Amino acid sequence: MAVNVLMPKLGLTMETGVIARWNFKDGDTVKAGDAIYQVETDKLTNDVLAEADGILRIRFAAGAVVPATEVVGVIVGPSEAAPWAGAPAGAATPAAHSEASAPATPAPFSPTTVGTGRPRATPKARKLAMERGIDLTILRGSGPGGMIAVKDLEGARPPRVSPLAAKLAVDLGADLSAIRKEGRIMKADVLAVAARPVVPPVSDAGADGRCEPMSAMRRAIARNMSASWNIAPMVSYNLRADVTALAELKKNLNIERKVSYTDLLIKLVARALQAHPLLNASVEGEEIILHEAVHMGLAVALEDGLIVPVIRNAESKSLGEIADEAALLAEKARQGRLTPDEYTGGTFTLTNLGMFGMESFTPIINQPESAILGVNAIVRTAVEVDGRIVMRPLMNLSLTADHRAANGAEAAMFLALVRDLVENPWKLLL
């Protein structure tokens, strides 16, 4: 009996995935538990395992963008045929079936979209549809082979798009027709589409070097950081904090359980954000959205990039709960096991480069958030205390804030409160 091979749905927010590569060829024999293909999302790469023994028949070639839960292949017995006609580009045609005997390719893909994930259209029609936000998949093309031309766009109704989202879509080359939602398309929707993986071109760097295509994660980072830099007027703020009291608290807490400076900072920054909600906000057009809950993003460095898992409702969690969740999310991030629900929806981000000896840096805001706090190394420094020069452990705090949401005074007061809580952590008990 045939067993379907599906595009996995790695969390509630995942809509599509890219088949990064097949580890077996069409017609190969596979065993249950074999990693038969690799799927890329905008942040992660995961192996998909075979659920049965049999012969692999491939429906979509490597590079295809496929909706979550869609059938990408099938594992069949020796006398069985794949339940579709033809084969994807680059895959061998199964000898056991023919166009006359097999059922048509299942929806939602048509013969013009199999293996590419998008309908055929002239470059001019595709560009115009992107600018207007028209969904090409609902149109019938009048050109050769059903190709969509400019005239086929006449009378097509575009979705409602905010002015900022429309401008951002053009700047980033984002396809508004790929956004499926009820109501108005906003900036955050465009950023999400712009971050989706694309198949990189193969190029040659020549004799002077070598050219390597970006991974899906690196492409997502590049798009998101470029978009953030272009749309948010960022201002940087720096303060030094004396961590003497925080170090003593950490030492005493570690007698009972292990906590890190990052765990402590998550807790006290969440407290500071409650007092300064403009730093726990996002900007949408001419509106500022103030988030009641603090969903704290924690930047985790990976071998080929970084990812920001989110600790939800950090303001209401105990220090122990934060420590446990931060450790679990960081481990899952390094193992590539995070789901999209675990790295989306953040309202503020904390990034710590102190372990690398950094004393100051300018972090880039993780859109659509309005601020990010960089944590630097603790350096023993000579300071004056009560008229005497003493050595104290000092740590630089580097804040980047979106000036559209928070002006300089608001950002400065927030950072000053963070410093006050670092130097007087007992206030967390109040």
Residue 414 three-state SS: helix
Does 226 reside within a domain?
A: no
One domain for residues 33 and 166: no
Terminal-to-terminal C-alpha distance of the chain: 64
**Count of the separate structural domains present in the chain:** 3
84 and 24 inside one domain: yes
pLDDT recorded at residue 255: 84
Domain boundary among 115, 144, 161: 115
Are the CB atoms for 18 and 60 separated by under 8 Å? no
Low-confidence stretches of the chain (pLDDT < 50) are: 85-117, 198-202
Same-domain pairing of 130 and 182: yes
Domain of 368, in residue numbers: 234-429
pLDDT of residue 105: 35
In a shared domain, residues 181 and 287: no
Look at residues 115, 148, 180 and tell me which one is the last residue of a structural domain: 115
Residues 181 and 62 in one domain: no
The pLDDT tens digits for 296-343 are 999 998 877 788 999 999 999 999 999 999 999 999 888 878 887 888
Cα separation, 153 vs 134, in Å, equals: 8
CB atoms within 10 A of CB 328: 13
pLDDT tens digits, one per residue of 26-39: 999 999 989 999 88
**Cβ of 65: how many Cβ atoms within 10 Å?**
22
Same domain for 338 and 194: no
Residues 202-208: contacts with CB within 8 Å, 24+ apart?
none
pLDDT at 141: 79
Q: Which helix (H) or strand (E) holds 163?
A: helix 163-172
Cα distance between residue 350 and residue 7, in whole Å: 32
315 and 414 housed in the same domain: yes
Residue 330 resides in a domain:
yes
Distance (Å, whole) CA 298 – CA 320: 16
Q: Which residues contact 189 (CB under 8 A, 6 or more apart)?
A: 165, 179, 181
Tell me, what amino acid is at 101?
A: S
Residues 104 and 184 in one domain: no
Collapse the DSSP code of 236 into the 3-class scheme (helix H, G, I; strand E, B; otherwise coil) and give the result: strand
Q: Which residues contact 249 (CB under 8 A, 6 or more apart)?
A: 264, 425, 426
Looking up residue 29, the CATH number of its domain turns out to be 2.40.50.100
| Amino acid type, 249 | L
Task: Establish if 224 belongs to a structural domain.
Answer: no
End residue of a domain, out of 185, 218, 251: 218
Query: Is 298 found in the same domain as 388?
Result: yes
Strand-pairing partners, residue 241, are 395
Same-domain pairing of 385 and 251:
yes
CA-to-CA dists, residue 420 to 53, 119, 242, 243, 391, angstroms? 62, 57, 9, 10, 19
Asked, for residue 413, whether it belongs to a domain, the answer is yes
Q: Determine how β-strand 287-290 pairs with β-strand 305-307.
A: unpaired
Query: Is the same domain home to 263 and 402?
Result: yes
Structural domain contains residue 361: yes
Task: Please report whether residue 366 resides in a domain.
Answer: yes
Where b means 16+ CB within 10 Å and e means fewer, 203-229 reads: eeeeeeeeeeebbbbebbbebbeebbe
Domain assignment present for 364: yes
- CATH of residue 267's domain is 3.30.559.10
Could you give the maximum distance between any two Cα atoms of the chain, in Å? 93
User: Would 241 be classed as within a structural domain?
Assistant: yes
Same domain for 57 and 102, yes or no, is yes
